[in-house]
Amino acid sequence: MHTLVTKSINKASEILISGEIVAFPTETVFGLGALINREDAIEKIYLAKGRAKDNPLIVHISNLSSLDSLVQEIKPNVQKLIDNFWPGPLTLIFKKNNSIGNFVTSGLSTVAIRFPKHKIAQELITQCKVPIAAPSANISGKPSSTKYQHVLEDFEGKIPCILEGKTVHGLESTVIDCTSEPFSLLRSGAIPFERIEQLVGLRKTTGRTNQPKSPGMKYRHYSPKAKVYIVSENSHLPEVSYETSAFIGLRDLETSKIFKKLICKDLDEYAENLFSFFRDCDRESIEFIYCERPEDLGIGKAINERLSKAAS
């Protein structure tokens, strides 16, 4: 199959309407989308990604009026989140309406919904006149795609179309379960969880349970081929060979052992570059990637969640 890389939203929407899948940019990462009323196309997303069938998809909308037909109720605290953060990198879990097929939600009675801020994503959904179900556009287990070239790396010859565009945050949306109060944080992401906590409160997490918070969180994620180590300021690095080691973080490590380094000026830049750095390292046959552990605050918490998964 030829993979068309295009800037034409028209062309991409035609392909979606014909029952095919299309990768498109959002402000977080690229999504791999299909219309929510095309079970055949949704099936193609799972096949292309090698995604487990029990891992549900996020439904992307481009106006608030379509929400009513997708969910059972919008509680006052949910409305607060919507008013403050939509459009934006926040995914909310609702009790779903029967209008959404089980093939979108892996049979769950709930549905994840996001109204992206990205103009290209919004226009694509609007042109299709139907919401778009989309997971991140990467082979399952690999780092999410923050550039269209990453999507090509994973899917050239396997999907018909990639819509070009730029992402902003470089990691995925924050996911909040709003089906029971207080709400729970299922995945840290581009919107700092503290802002949500301030606004509506969040359930206190009580230690470790074996129950994954979200179906997708039990799977291996964000992993480059290289081995990932999380380091703090005074960590002792194991002996490794210079040419095959890389480092990403906020402060330079004063060591001559590291061949490839990316020192980021702040947490936003760290988040924006992390997945891209992982992919660059793989292309350059780096074997060991050292990642500085940032403070567990704001987007630092989202970075740490990604690092822990990548290192596991």
Query: Cα 202 to the chain's mean position, in Å?
Result: 21
Q: With beta carbons less than 8 A apart as the criterion, state whether 183 and 197 touch.
A: no
Interface segment toward ligand TXA; rule CB under 6 A; list 12-20, 53-61, 149-157, 269-277: 53-61
Q: Which does 49 bind (CB under 5 to 8 A by kind): ligand TXA, Mg ion, none?
A: none
What is the number of the residue whose Cβ is closest to ligand TXA? 216
131 phi and psi, to 5 degrees? -60, 155
From CA 285, how far away is CA 279, in angstroms rounded? 10
- In three-state secondary structure terms, 261 is strand
Packing angle of the helix pair 299-311, 267-283 (nearest 10 deg): 20
Cis peptide before 224 (omega within 30 of 0): no
Q: How far is the CB of 94 from ligand TXA (least distance, A)?
A: 8
Q: Whose Cβ is closer to ligand TXA: residue 30's or residue 229's? A: 30
Min separation Cβ 147 and ligand TXA, Å: 14
Q: What is the DSSP letter of 205?
A: P
134 lies in the site for ligand TXA, by CB under 6 A: yes
| Token pair for 310 | 């990548």
184, interface contact from ligand TXA, Mg ion, none, CB < 5-8 Å by kind: none
Shortest separation between residue 137's beta carbon and Mg ion, angstroms: 9
Tokens of 309: 């998964």
Residue 217 within binding range of ligand TXA, rule CB under 6 A: yes
> Does 214 sit near ligand TXA (CB under 6 A)?
yes
State the minimum distance, in angstroms, from the CB of residue 154 to Mg ion. 12
Tell me the closest approach of the beta carbon of residue 25 to ligand TXA, in angstroms.
Answer: 9
Backbone angles phi, psi at 178, to 5 degrees: -105, 15
Q: Residue 136 interacts with Mg ion (CB under 5 A)?
A: yes
Q: H or E element: which one contains 102?
A: helix 102-105
Tell me the per-residue interface mask from 170 to 189 with ligand TXA, x by CB under 6 A, - otherwise: --xx-x----------xx--
DSSP reduced 3-state for 249: strand
CA 75 – CA 222 distance, rounded (Å): 33
* Contact string (CB under 6 A) for ligand TXA, positions 91-120, x = contact: x-x-----------x--x-xxx-x------
Helix and strand tally (H, E) in the chain? 9, 14
The reply on whether position 28 binds ligand TXA by CB under 6 A is yes
* Residue ranges binding Mg ion (CB under 5 A): 136
* Residue ranges binding ligand TXA (CB under 6 A): 26, 28-29, 31, 55-58, 89, 91, 93, 105, 108, 110-112, 114, 134-136, 172-173, 175, 186-187, 214-217
